[in-house]
Amino acid sequence: MSRQRSARSAALGLTVRRLPTTSQARGAGPLRRRLVVGALVLASLVLISLSFRADGSGPLGGVQSAGATVLRPFAVGFERVAQPFRDVYAWADSLLSAQSEADALRDEVRELRQRAIQSEFALQENVYLRELLDYIDGPRFPADFDPVAAEVIGRPTGAFTQAITIAVGAKNGVRANDPVVTADGLVGVVTRVTSGTARVQLLTDEEAAASAIDLRTGATGIVRHARGTRETLVLDRVRKQDVVRRGNEIVTAGWRAGALSSLYPKGIPIGRVTSVGQTDTDLFQQVQIDPYVDFGALDAVIVLVPQERE
């Protein structure tokens, strides 16, 4: 049937005519459109498949690493330009929540908290060493690590992944699984490394976990994200007979079992217990933690690089 066809509308008694369109629109246009979008979707799927299977290694990993290296100066440049605006935003945000008054006190609390943790651990270890002479298999201290300071150049881009990109990489000695901290406490772990950048999985990511211990009572568990929120963490797998009290400090456990050891060194602050609950049906206690680190305002972090890699 001809495109120029006319028809009479039965309802309105009007004649309507389909207007001619350009040959490009009716001919090559739709085909070209389908080809282009089909090719792009296919390219995306191929990239996803290769990238997912390679997981940062192989030829595609090299391409990604090269791309990241090329884009790094732009990211750093944009970061520098954006910093004043971010500062203004952070300032307004802190003004609204009255945090500006707490800044001076927070520094003091941070220092005292670190001292208290160190003292508490020293005391515990003293007692432990007297009772157990085979302490040699015990966890190691962060003294075995070298700090590498890093600027944050990329932040979580969506609701799916809680990860940041930092401006240090393999050439700075950083490797996958190196722990990342700030002066406040534990941030996460390095999951991917290029020569000049690295991706850090935050502790608030759905797939992140860290073995942790209640500093006062010695109750152990696994710190994970709290479902449905980014602001809180939970201490999972705490047995019902263990004692955990509101206000207690949670730090990394830093366990060691033969050749295996925790990714995180012992004694890094994680947060403070805000609530403890348990039900008859649950096997474990429900412990909620308020993290010391503000994961939404990370400007710089410290990567803990082991002095001796195994």
Partner 1 sequence: VSATAWLRASLVVFVAAMLQVVIVSSLVVAGGAPDLLLVVVVVLGLARGSIPGAILGFAGGLVVDLVTLGTLGVTSLVLTLAGFWAGRYAETTGRDRRFAAVIAVGTITVLAAAFGYVLHYLLDEEVVARHALVTALAPAFVLNLVLALPVNALVRRLVGEGERDELAPEVEVLAS
Q: Closer to partner 1 at the Cβ: 20 or 218?
A: 20
Q: Which CB atom, from 70 or from 127, has the smaller least distance to partner 1?
A: 70
CB of 86 to partner 1, least distance (A): 6
- Stated as kind and residue range, the H or E segment containing 63 is helix 58-96
The minimum distance between CB 143 and partner 1, in angstroms, equals 30
Nearer of residues 88 and 149 to partner 1, judged by Cβ? 88
The residue (of 67 and 147) whose beta carbon lies closer to partner 1 is 67
Q: In whole angstroms, how close is the CB of 125 to partner 1 at the nearest point?
A: 36
Contact 141, 267 (CB under 8 A): yes
Unique residue bearing structure tokens 């240090």: 168
Contacts of 257 (CB under 8 A, 6+ apart): 137
Q: How far is the CB of 223 from partner 1 (least distance, A)?
A: 16
- In 3D, which of 72, 95, 134, 116 has the Cα closest to residue 247? 116
Q: Which residues, at least 6 apart from 43, have a Cβ–Cβ distance to it below 8 Å?
A: none
As a whole number of Å, the end-to-end CA separation of the chain is 76
Token couple for 306: 């082991």
Among residues 233, 155, 263, which one has the least CA distance to residue 199?
155
d(CA 23, CA 39): 23
What is the DSSP code (8-state) at residue 137? G
Q: At closest approach, how far in Å is the CB of 42 from partner 1? A: 10
Residue nearer to partner 1 on the CB measure, 202 or 215: 202
Q: Could you give the maximum distance between any two Cα atoms of the chain, in Å?
A: 103
**Closest CB to partner 1 among residues 19, 259:** 19
Least separation in angstroms between residue 74's CB and partner 1 is 6
